[in-house]
Structure 1
Amino acid sequence: MSLIFDPQIAERVRASFERQHAMRLIRATFPVVEQGRTEIHLPHWQGVEQQHGFVHGGVVGMIADSAAGYAAMTMVPATDSVLTVEFKLNLMAPADGEKLIARGQVVRPGRTLIVTKADVFAIKDGKETLCGLMQQTIMVMHGKVEK
């Protein structure tokens, strides 16, 4: 795997995010793409809330999975794609804020498996509160590009 970041990788990863209809459905945005690191931002709105008014834990997991998965995607060649095979999510605090930020990061790149993590923060009155912590395993699908 290359450790030199190619700007075309960022374009390819952003294009993949745009094809993910689930991210559009929840109004998520993708402002940060760097080698081994990404961020997904999610506004808090009624459509992603659970019964107490917090962002639903499933949605927290959704943005954590995508942020960490896309961090992994920045580490593979354009001829390959990635797929989540496992993740563990700890919900540390209610996802209560004006928006959430999921910060994905590659922990260990590999040829077949990539280990990643994501921290999800609720932003309220300018203060970040860790509300989700995820560890993930990504499988590199050699020679298989996205549709």
Structure 2
Amino acid sequence: MLDTIQAINKTAAFNRWAGFEVTRAAAGEAELRMEWREEDMGQYAGFLHAGLIGAMLDTACGFAAATVAGRVLASHFSVNCLSPALGRAFIARGKVVKAGRKQVFTTAELYGQGDGGSLKLVATGSAILVPVEEPPPAK
């Protein structure tokens, strides 16, 4: 399962730019890691930009959902920023709360990782994802 989610991650241009690395995937769970880049990831005060916080939470939720429902698209997601996002890296952990035929409910947590490897919770999120059919082959 990890290989499948890692392969999906590599097809997304945004994920490649951001440096998202899928570090774990199991039934109903996924974990991402992203190294901090001061030159293009911060907001005006030097913390991780909320757009990237949302992207990591959304992606972790989507990959967790994909482990049980296949191809999915987000129909709703929300983000709660709990503290300034600081770290040398960031780790997002997503999990499925309930998977139905038409909707998959997920949650995620985002942690800032310090120099010593310690983790601090900086944001949480939730997403509702919708299973979609595979696209037809390109002609």
TM-score of the two chains, using structure 2 as the length reference: 0.90
Q: Establish whether residue 105 from structure 1 lines up as the match of residue 98 from structure 2.
A: no
CA distance 1:48–1:146, shift in 2 (3 Å): farther
Q: Establish whether residue 87 from structure 1 lines up as the match of residue 80 from structure 2.
A: no
For residue 75 of structure 1, give the secondary structure of its aligned residue in structure 2.
Answer: helix
- Corresponding residue for residue 48 of structure 2: 55
CA distance in 2, matches of 1:82, 1:42: 22
For residue 55 of structure 1, give the secondary structure of its aligned residue in structure 2.
Answer: coil
Q: Establish whether residue 22 from structure 1 lines up as the match of residue 14 from structure 2.
A: yes
For residue 54 of structure 1, give the secondary structure of its aligned residue in structure 2.
Answer: coil
Which AA in structure 1 matches 2:120?
T
CA distance 1:146–1:84, shift in 2 (3 Å): farther
Q: Establish whether residue 12 from structure 1 lines up as the match of residue 12 from structure 2.
A: no
RMSD over aligned Cα, in angstroms?
1.6
How many angstroms does 1:146 deviate by? 8.6
- Corresponding residue for residue 126 of structure 2: 135
Aligned residues: 135
CA distance in 2, matches of 1:146, 1:109: 25
For residue 109 of structure 2, give the secondary structure of its aligned residue in structure 1.
Answer: strand
Q: Percent identity?
A: 27
How many angstroms does 1:144 deviate by? 2.4
Structure 1: runs of 5 or more not aligned? 1-8
